[in-house]
Amino acid sequence: MHRLPQAAAFVVSATYEVIAWNDLAAALMEDFSALPRRDRNLVRRVFLGPHRPGRRLYGVSDADEFARRAAQDLRATAARYPDDPELTELVAELLAGSEEFTALWNSHDVAATPTFRKTFQHPMVGPVTVNCDVLDIADRDQRVVIYTTVPGSPSESALRLLSVIGTQSMDITPDAGRPSARATRSSAMSVIMSS
């Protein structure tokens, strides 16, 4: 994954636990290394939060569709691993904590449509539209997710800026002699776009 410097890439388990990621995925979504293992689960994240106002699951445009697909996938995973205690605990927690998950779980729906393009509303660089490729690793019951941008697009510039910023916090209060985070972002974006 680290050989994909212009793409955000991560690996999820059959239960949607993020188990590996590159730096750009951490910058686009969140710094998974700063989270306990339990909080790296994307299904738990989409149904139980935490959510910033108006930003369900990292502000991604297809969060509702992802929630539907993840509930369907989790049901199929539970059928494959009926005696897995972590999976049983996760499903019980989701059923107890989310009416939406409970409704999706009880629907027994298995028809999922893949999402090939989505937009993240990133708090520092704004909207980032990415193409989404998912590669199944069947023998390990894992998926590699790769987000790329259209060459020359504003999203490519935003992703390039994120590769520089990384997971730094840009919560800077303007002082008399210091630029604001917005001014810093604009300056950095100008440098990135001119290169």
pLDDT tens digits for range 118-166:
899 888 898 999 999 999 998 899 999 999 999 999 999 999 999 888 8
pLDDT tens digits for range 66-107:
999 999 999 989 999 999 999 999 999 999 999 999 999 998
Alpha-helix runs per DSSP H in the chain: 23-28, 42-48, 63-80, 85-97, 99-107, 154-165, 181-194
Report how far residue 74's alpha carbon sits from residue 12's, in angstroms, rounded to the nearest whole number: 12
Taking the CA atoms of 74, 120, 149 and 112 in sequence, report the sign of the dihedral they define: positive
Report how far residue 190's alpha carbon sits from residue 195's, in angstroms, rounded to the nearest whole number: 9
Longest dimension (CA), the chain: 61
Residue 192's pLDDT is what? 44
Statement: residue 195 has pLDDT above 60: no
Alpha-carbon separation of residue 135 from 6, 23, 62, 96 (angstroms) = 17, 19, 19, 31
Residue 29 banded pLDDT, cuts 50, 70, 90: very high
pTM value is: 0.78
Mean pLDDT over residues 170-194, rounded? 46
Residue 112 banded pLDDT, cuts 50, 70, 90: low
- CA trace torsion 160, 162, 164, 168 (10° rounding): 180
Residue 113's pLDDT is what? 59
